[in-house]
């Protein structure tokens, strides 16, 4: 191969390199274009998703507003789990104050379950099983008074039968006081 | 002495190692080379400029995508917290609706007894699985079955509906059992103050 031919090959190689370089620049630009398109599509889909999520949240807030307002009024009347002792003594004190003829009283804490499922918001019940033998009016006034003082307390069982004396009644009463889980401290 | 041009050529001897001339077509090679350089300069600079602008746009889009993702995450967290709050509120509401004071019901049933009827046993028991339901058991010493109807009228007047009733007469005593359900408990979204005002009927 003579020098002229070598020179031609070198120049042809230069042409090839220049064209290749130009094509590489163009390819790189096209790759970035594709990435931009992908990013634009992702942004659009995320904006749609954001809109849907905002709408769902607003719907949920609208639907639950009444429920939450109702419960907010009742929340302060629920005893907290840390107050289980005072819930117990609260009942026994009212029994003592009214000088009821009490045959027996038992207090226990039981897990609150419905259909074998734990109730997370009210995990414990303070259950008082009381047995009275006293005057009819006094007994029923006492129940009414208890339901007034503790509006979240409920009667689990009530059994009335003849008492030991003339007008007296024997009343077996199961009272249940729910204990609410403490709310986690909110971050400042 | 002047030597004519043509004559000088005559002094040259032919070079033996000179390469043969390239074909005529090869004259295009330098032209193609310059065109290739021009292509590189134009296409390369345009592509680089375009790539730079596109890259900036892509980066801004990626930033926006990150912001959107964070915003969606924030809303999802807020929604999860609200759902948890609703679940808790539903549990509390269920308790409130199932803890309607029973003293007015007990007093009304006892007051509904006629002069020739006497309560032997009276039980009210809450269903453990469905706390809004009560199981009533009334054992009466009465001569007439009408007494039960009279008591049921009173119970219905307090918005309770009875179902699955059974009535038997054993040794002169009338034994009545039924389940009681508070009618439309959702209509009774009482405030604690309202409930307190309702309870405590004088026996």
Domain ranges of chain B: 27-100, 115-187
pTM of the prediction?
0.77
Let me know: does B69 contact A122? Beta carbons within 8 Å. no
Q: Which of A80, A108, A130 is the last residue of a domain?
A: A80
Q: Do B92 and A74 touch (CB under 8 A)?
A: yes
Percent of chain A whose predicted confidence (pLDDT) is above 70: 97
Number of domain units in chain A:
2
Q: Do residues A57 and A74 both lie within one domain?
A: yes
Q: Do A140 and B103 touch (CB under 8 A)?
A: yes
How many A/B residue pairs have CB atoms within 8 Å?
224
Query: Which among B20, B91, B195 has the least Cβ separation from residue A151?
Result: B195
DSSP string, B171-196: TTEEEEEEEEEES-GGGG---HHHHH
- Render the burial of B98-125: b for 16+ CB within 10 Å, e for the rest: bbbbbbbbbbbbbebbeeebebeebbbb
Q: Do B82 and A78 touch (CB under 8 A)?
A: no
Q: Lowest mean pLDDT of A12-21, A114-123, B77-86, name the range.
A: A114-123
Angle, helices B103-111/B146-157, rounded to nearest 10 degrees? 150
Q: Do A143 and B103 touch (CB under 8 A)?
A: yes
Task: Tell me whether residue A188 is in a domain.
Answer: no
Q: What is the mean pLDDT of residues A171-181?
A: 91
Q: Lowest mean pLDDT of A3-12, A65-74, B17-26, name the range.
A: B17-26
Q: Do A46 and B102 touch (CB under 8 A)?
A: no
| pLDDT beyond 60 at B185 | no
Rounded CA-CA distance A56/A36 in Å is 30
> pLDDT for A113-140, tens place per residue?
888 888 888 888 999 999 999 988 889 9
Under the banding of pLDDT at 50, 70 and 90, the label for residue B202 is: low
Q: Do residues A69 and A125 both lie within one domain?
A: no
Task: Tell me whether residue A60 is in a domain.
Answer: yes
Q: What is the reported pLDDT for B18?
A: 74
Q: Which domain holds residue A161?
A: 84-179
Q: What angle do CA A110, A111, A115 make, to 5 degrees?
A: 120
Give A77's DSSP letter. G
Please state, as a whole number, how many other Cβ atoms lie within 10 Å of the Cβ of residue B28. Answer: 10
By the CB < 8 Å criterion, does B44 face chain A?
A: yes
**Chain A residues near residue B68 by CB distance under 8 angstroms:** 43, 46-47, 49-50
Fold type of domain B115-187: Alpha-Beta Plaits (3.30.70)
Q: What is the reported pLDDT for A172?
A: 95
Rounded CA-CA distance A180/A124 in Å is 7
Q: Do A141 and B203 touch (CB under 8 A)?
A: yes
**Chain B residues near residue A43 by CB distance under 8 angstroms:** 61, 64-65, 68
Q: Which of A38, A62, A80 is the last residue of a domain?
A: A80
Name the one residue in this structure whose structure tokens are 């917290």: B81
Structural tokens at position A39: 């990013």
- Render the burial of A123-133: b for 16+ CB within 10 Å, e for the rest: bbbbbbebebb
CATH of the domain at A105: 3.30.70.60
Q: Do residues A171 and A101 both lie within one domain?
A: yes
Rg, Å, chain A Cα set: 39
Give A99's DSSP letter. T
Let me know: does A15 contact B30? Beta carbons within 8 Å. no
Q: Cα dist. A117→A71, A72, A114, B89, B125 in Å?
A: 21, 24, 5, 17, 21
Q: Do residues A134 and A52 both lie within one domain?
A: no
Tell which B residues from 97 to 156 touch A, by Cβ distance under 8 Å.
98-99, 101-104, 106-107, 110, 119-126, 128-129, 131
Q: Do A4 and B64 touch (CB under 8 A)?
A: no
**Chain A residues near residue B203 by CB distance under 8 angstroms:** 136-137, 140-141, 144
Let me know: does A153 contact A180? Beta carbons within 8 Å. no
């Amino acid at each position: 191969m003579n020098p002229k031919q070598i020179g031609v090959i070198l120049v042809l190689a230069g042409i090839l390199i220049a064209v290749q370089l130009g094509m590489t620049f163009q390819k790189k630009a096209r790759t970035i274009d594709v990435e931009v398109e992908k990013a634009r599509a992702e942004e659009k889909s995320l904006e749609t998703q954001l809109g849907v999520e905002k709408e769902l949240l607003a719907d949920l807030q609208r639907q639950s507003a009444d429920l939450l307002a109702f419960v907010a009024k009742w929340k302060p009347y629920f005893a907290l789990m840390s107050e289980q002792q005072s819930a117990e003594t609260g009942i026994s004190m009212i029994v003592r104050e009214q000088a009821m003829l009490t045959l027996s009283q038992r207090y226990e804490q039981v897990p609150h379950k419905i259909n074998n499922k734990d109730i997370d918001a009210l995990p414990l019940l303070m259950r008082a099983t009381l047995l009275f033998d006293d005057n009819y009016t006094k007994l029923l006034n006492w129940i009414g008074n208890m339901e007034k003082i503790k509006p979240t307390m409920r009667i689990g069982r009530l059994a009335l039968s003849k008492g030991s004396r003339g007008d007296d009644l024997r009343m077996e009463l199961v009272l249940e006081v729910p204990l609410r889980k403490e709310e986690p401290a909110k971050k400042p | 002495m002047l030597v004519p041009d043509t004559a000088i050529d005559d002094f040259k001897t032919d070079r033996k190692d000179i390469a043969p001339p390239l074909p005529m077509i090869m004259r295009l090679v330098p032209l193609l080379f310059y065109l290739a350089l021009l292509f590189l300069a134009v296409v390369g600079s345009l592509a680089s400029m375009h790539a730079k602008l596109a890259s900036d746009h892509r980066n801004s889009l990626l930033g926006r995508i990150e912001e959107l993702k964070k915003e969606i995450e924030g809303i999802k967290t807020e929604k999860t917290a609200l759902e948890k709050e609703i679940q808790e509120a539903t549990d509390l509401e269920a308790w409130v609706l199932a803890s309607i004071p029973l003293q007015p019901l007990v007093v009304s049933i006892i007051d509904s007894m006629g002069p020739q009827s006497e309560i032997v046993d009276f039980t009210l028991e809450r269903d453990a699985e469905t706390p809004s339901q009560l199981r009533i058991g009334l054992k009466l010493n009465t001569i007439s079955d009408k007494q039960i109807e009279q008591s049921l009228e009173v119970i219905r007047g307090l918005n309770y509906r009875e179902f699955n009733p059974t009535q038997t007469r054993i040794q002169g005593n009338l034994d009545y059992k039924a389940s009681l359900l508070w009618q439309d408990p959702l209509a009774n979204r009482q405030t604690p103050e309202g409930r307190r005002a309702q309870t405590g009927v004088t026996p």
